Amino acid sequence: MRATNDYDARQIFVEDVGYKLYKGFLKDRPSLVKKYNSEWSFLRRNPYTDIAIGSQMSVHKNVLKVIGCCLETELPIIVYEFAGSKILCTCISATNDEPLPRKCRLKIAIGIASAVAYLHTAFSRPVIHRDIICSNILLDQNNVPKLIDFGLCISIPEGQTHVIDDLTVGRTLNLAPEYKDRGYLTEKVDVYQFGLLLIELSSGQDIVSLCCEHNISLGIEIHIDAVHNRIRNEGIDQFQDFKTLIRKCTSFEEEDRPTMIEVAKELRRIDQSFTSPS
């Protein structure tokens, strides 16, 4: 494909389970091109779902805009607007020489919370994302976050409050307990993953790696304590509210977790009370 110089490996921007995202050009304008590989059906990531949901979600400012697709190839190809060349997981890494300011990280959290809340409420039936992770979030030149993938989305059937589905292959360490144990899915599965994302945003550390060394509950507590100490040293008074929100989002019982609308509202309240210059 000419847009990506025939999928030149040097043009790969993101490489995730089941797909690669390439930098390219379309009619002399920069774009991003997603190419699925043959593993997608085994991994439950559905490019047709990605196209359908992603296209409808493109109206939201915190979603990467779909501008076209090709269904004539063996596997669908999706073309997106070019909105920058930064991936969140790289920008928040503790090893990054230029870490994102604390205030910027909070704005990123608000943007993603808004997008996920929209996903849960904007369709005729709630849609669950199931893959809210740092590598699925792009930052534009102003550090505005963009969700870039909807291939694992699943909707709750009419007349039901939940859906039962098999585990998502390759993502078992960051799944909500009820999903991991019983395949039980509600919107609160996304809330749980978002709570883990908040920890990573604050600490700059990969929670999945830590949870490989500890059980998930202990891993979460270790991360929260690390974030507590780091932010306390910066003299930020709002951390207790942030810490409480993380604990609510990652509650073991799904009914104890807030909705994404409530999460977004609380993050905005914390942001408005934020006094740190960073």
CB 76 within 8 A of CB 69: yes
∠ CA 50-139-167 to the nearest 5 degrees? 40
Catalytic, out of 16, 50, 131, 190: 131
Question: What are the DSSP calls for 199-226, one per residue?
Answer: HHHHH-S-HHHHHHHS-HHHHHHHHHHH
User: What's the rounded Cα separation, in Å, for the pair 272 and 250?
Assistant: 23
**131 is known as an active-site residue:** yes
Task: Report residue 96 as tokens.
Answer: 């990054």
For residue 259, how far is the Cα from the chain centroid? 16
Amino acid identity of 230? R
User: 238-276 in b/e burial notation, b at 16+ Cβ within 10 A?
Assistant: bbeebbebbebbbbeebeebbebbbbbebbeebeeebee
Tell me the β-bridge partners of 31.
24, 81
Phi, psi values for residue 70, rounded to 5°: -125, 120
Alpha-carbon distance of 7 to 5, in angstroms, equals 6
Amino acid at 242: F
With 0-12 CB in 10 A as exposed, 13-18 as middle and 19+ as buried, what is 56? middle
- What are the φ and ψ backbone dihedral angles of 180, each rounded to 5 degrees? -65, -40
The number of residues making up the chain comes to: 278
Residues carrying an active site annotation: 131
